[in-house]
């Protein structure tokens, strides 16, 4: 069952800025990443989903309700962590969280307190003097305290140190494990790679590709890079049956692509060679998207 569904969603700000024809379906319990460079349209998409901006054309629905028309109803189901962390003009984190609880109609703060403990957050601190990490945590508590079934996070880890980022992502993963639908944007591939079920790549306002992470992780073809001690070995191996995808003769290096189940055959063959090293080249989200973007540019060049 789809929780968020956008159909040809377009918000045209003119001069090729905005988002164009976004088709995206996020199912119940799914965690979907949204990746793209700065200014590629991630935040615009998220604002459309929340109903803060009115689409130029196309629709976006949350639980079957169009966002713009039913913004105040759909946001009840959503916990939102905005990209820009700016709190209302209140004194401390406690003030803010209490005020937010009042907005959300929460009288029982136990869950909020659990979250605060888990995040090791001291909410008594002055909001203005909070570090970026503390602000981010406070914003996350505010988004999670009502225990909403949908989470929308706009670049939640930007500006956090690596340790904090891991802790942060752990909590999000936990929420995902509880069965929440999560839509998270980022411009960092790695953090989405490990957590998301699917990752959408947006570039210049267009969704270029939606990668299925389980398919990426369990690819049937693997690539190995091998360096030989001598030029002889290098030349001899080049004549073997393997599909060579890259040659770097000066280093006596070869990159081969073989089906995953045939890795044993490769090792057997290599027994007769003097190998300096052999390593598997991981196929990351980044490589995947780079390849796609390169192809895209190639296509454009060909058209021209």
Partner 1 sequence: MFSKALFKQSCKANGTMWAIITFAECFMLACVMLISGKGGMDTTVEAVKDTIVRQEMDVQIEARAINYYENQIDGMQKFDALFAEKLQEEVGQGGNLQTIVPTVYASAVSELQSYLYNKALAIDPSYTQDSDEAKELLGSVMYAIDPPAGEDQSNGMFDDFYTSHGESVPGEYFNSLQLLTHLMSGDLSEYFASPERLSFIEDRAEYCSSIFLAGNMTSPENVERMIEQLEKFDISSEKYESLGYTYSTIKQAAAGTVVTYRARLENELEKLDNTQKDYAEKVAEIKTTLTGEISSSFLSSLPQDVATAFEEIGQLNLYGIVVGSIFFRLAGLLLPIIYMIMVSNNLIAGQVDSGSMAYVLSSSTKRQTVVRTQAAFLILSLFGMFALTTVTSCICLAIVGVEVAKITYGQILLFNLGAFLVLFALSGLCFFTSCWFDRSKRSMAIGGGLSIFSLVAAMLGLFGSKVIPTIVRLKALNFFNYATVITLFDAISIIDGTLTYLWKFAILLVLGIVGYIVGSVRFVKKDLPL
Count other C-beta atoms under 10 Å from residue 166's C-beta: 13
136 lies in the binding site for partner 1 (CB under 8 A): no
Q: Is 87 in the site for partner 1 (CB under 8 A)?
A: yes
Shortest distance, CB of residue 85 to partner 1, whole angstroms? 8
Q: Is 142 in the site for partner 1 (CB under 8 A)?
A: yes
Which two tokens mark 81?
A: 């962590």
Report the DSSP pairing between strands 17-27 and 2-14: antiparallel
CA distance 8 to 60: 8
Q: Binding of partner 1 at residue 117 (CB under 8 A)?
A: no
User: Of 79-87, 118-126, 167-175, 234-242, which segment contacts partner 1 by CB under 8 A?
Assistant: 79-87
Shortest spacing between CB 100 and partner 1, in angstroms: 6
Instruction: For partner 1, give the closer residue by CB, 52 or 283.
Output: 52
> Which residues lie below 8 Å from residue 161, measured CB to CB, with a gap of 6+?
133
Q: Does 261 bind partner 1 (CB under 8 A)?
A: no
Per CB under 8 A, contacts with partner 1 among 8-47 are 47
Interacting residue with partner 1 among 1, 38, 89, 302 (CB under 8 A): 89
Shortest distance, CB of residue 149 to partner 1, whole angstroms?
A: 14
201-260: contacts with partner 1 (CB under 8 A): none
Per rule CB under 8 A, is residue 85 in the interface with partner 1? yes
Q: Does 185 bind partner 1 (CB under 8 A)?
A: no
Q: Applying CB under 8 A, does 147 fall inside the site for partner 1?
A: no
* Helix H or strand E encompassing 166: helix 162-177
What are the residues facing 19 on neighbouring strands? 11
- Between 102 and 147, whose beta carbon lies closer to partner 1? 102
The string of DSSP codes covering 208-231 is: EEEEEHHHHHT-SEEEEEEEESSH
Alpha-carbon gap, residue 47 to 55, rounded angstroms? 10
108 binds partner 1 (CB under 8 A): no
Q: Judged by CB under 8 A, does residue 88 bind partner 1?
A: yes
- Using CB under 8 A as the binding rule, whether residue 54 contacts partner 1 is answered as yes
Neighbours of 147 (CB within 10 A): 13
Q: Is 281 in the site for partner 1 (CB under 8 A)?
A: no
DSSP alpha helices (H): ranges in 40-161? 42-50, 71-74, 93-104, 110-118, 132-144
Report the C-alpha gap between 104 and 89 in whole angstroms: 18
Please state, in angstroms and rounded to a whole number, the distance separating the CA atoms of residues 291 and 18. 24
- In 3D space, the residue among 280, 304, 284 whose CA is nearest the CA of residue 201 turns out to be 284
Which of 15, 16, 86, 220 is close enough to bind partner 1 by CB under 8 A? 86
Using the rule CB under 8 A, which residue among 9, 32, 75, 141 binds partner 1?
A: 75
Binding site for partner 1 (CB under 8 A): 47, 50, 52-54, 71-73, 75-76, 78-80, 82-91, 95, 99-100, 102-104, 142-143
């Amino acid at each position: 069952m789809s929780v968020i569904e956008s159909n040809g969603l377009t918000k045209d700000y003119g001069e090729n800025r905005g988002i164009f024809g976004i088709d995206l379906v996020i199912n119940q319990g799914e965690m979907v990443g949204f990746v793209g460079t700065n200014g590629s349209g991630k935040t615009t998409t998220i604002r459309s989903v929340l109903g803060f901006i009115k689409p130029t054309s196309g629709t976006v629905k949350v639980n079957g309700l169009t966002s713009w028309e039913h913004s105040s109803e759909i946001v009840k189901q959503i916990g939102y962590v905005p990209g820009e962390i700016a709190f209302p003009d209140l004194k401390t984190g406690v003030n803010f969280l209490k005020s937010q609880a009042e907005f959300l109609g929460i009288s029982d703060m136990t869950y909020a307190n659990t979250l605060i403990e888990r995040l090791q957050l001291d909410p008594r601190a002055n909001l203005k003097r909070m570090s970026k990490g503390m602000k981010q945590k406070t914003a996350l508590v505010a988004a999670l305290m009502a225990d909403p079934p949908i989470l929308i996070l706009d670049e939640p880890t930007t500006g956090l140190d690596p340790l904090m980022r891991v802790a942060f992502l752990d909590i999000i993963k936990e929420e995902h494990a509880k069965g929440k639908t999560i839509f998270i944007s980022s411009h960092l591939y790695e953090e989405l790679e490990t957590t998301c079920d699917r990752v959408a790549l947006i570039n210049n306002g267009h969704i270029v590709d939606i990668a299925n992470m389980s398919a990426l992780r369990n690819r049937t073809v693997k690539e190995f890079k091998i360096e030989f001690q001598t030029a002889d070995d290098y030349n001899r191996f080049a004549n073997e049956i393997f599909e060579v995808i890259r040659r770097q003769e000066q280093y006596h290096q070869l990159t081969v692509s073989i089906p995953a189940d045939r890795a044993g055959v490769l090792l057997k063959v290599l027994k007769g060679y003097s190998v300096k090293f052999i390593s598997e080249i991981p196929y990351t989200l980044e490589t995947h998207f780079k390849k796609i973007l390169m192809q895209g540019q190639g296509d454009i060049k060909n058209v021209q």
